[in-house]
Amino acid sequence: QVHLQGSGPGLVKPSETLSLTCNVSGSSIGVGYYWGWIRQPPGKGLEWIGNFYHSGSTYYNPSLKSRVTISVDTSKNQFSLKLSSVTAADTAVYYCARRGFISDDAFDVWGQGTMVTVSS
């Protein structure tokens, strides 16, 4: 069974870089599927951040593209999110998720979510 576990600092200062990691168990991220991030501000809806394909291609939300980097470490079977120049608007629960197993468009496995607050 595939399991995703996100981790990272729960508090980030404005203008700094938010960094999160998602550890994957039960599946090798280097052999297939799309792996990415989705966030949800408190009391609000879901927002797709971006994902990468195992071949190395990356795709980002146009509204965040200038600040986002998703990278992968196949040796540790984990992938990471970096979001630079954060503001209070980036306060959210950040989910890591897998897409492409059942169907290319279905996010079928999600991490538990990591709450990140941007505040000084």
Query: Binding string to another protein for residues 50 to 89, with x set by CB under 8 A, is what?
Result: ---------xxxxx--------------------------
Side-chain-facing half-sphere of 93: CA atoms under 13 Å: 12
Number of H helices, E strands in the chain: 0, 11
Specify the stretch interacting with another protein by CB under 8 A; choose among 10-18, 22-30, 44-52, 81-89.
Answer: 44-52
**Identity of the residue, 86 or 98, whose beta carbon is nearer to another protein in the bound complex:** 98
108 binds another protein (CB under 8 A): yes
CB of 73 closer than 8 Å to CB of 85: no
47 binds another protein (CB under 8 A): yes
110 binds another protein (CB under 8 A): yes
Interface pick for another protein out of 92, 107, 116, 118 (rule CB under 8 A): 107
What b/e sequence results for 83-105 when a residue is b if at least 16 CB atoms lie within 10 Å of its CB, and e otherwise? beebeeebbbbbbbbbbbeeeee
User: Rounded CA gap, 37 and 48, in Å?
Assistant: 7
Residues that bind another protein (CB under 8 A): 38, 45-48, 59-63, 95, 102-108, 110-113
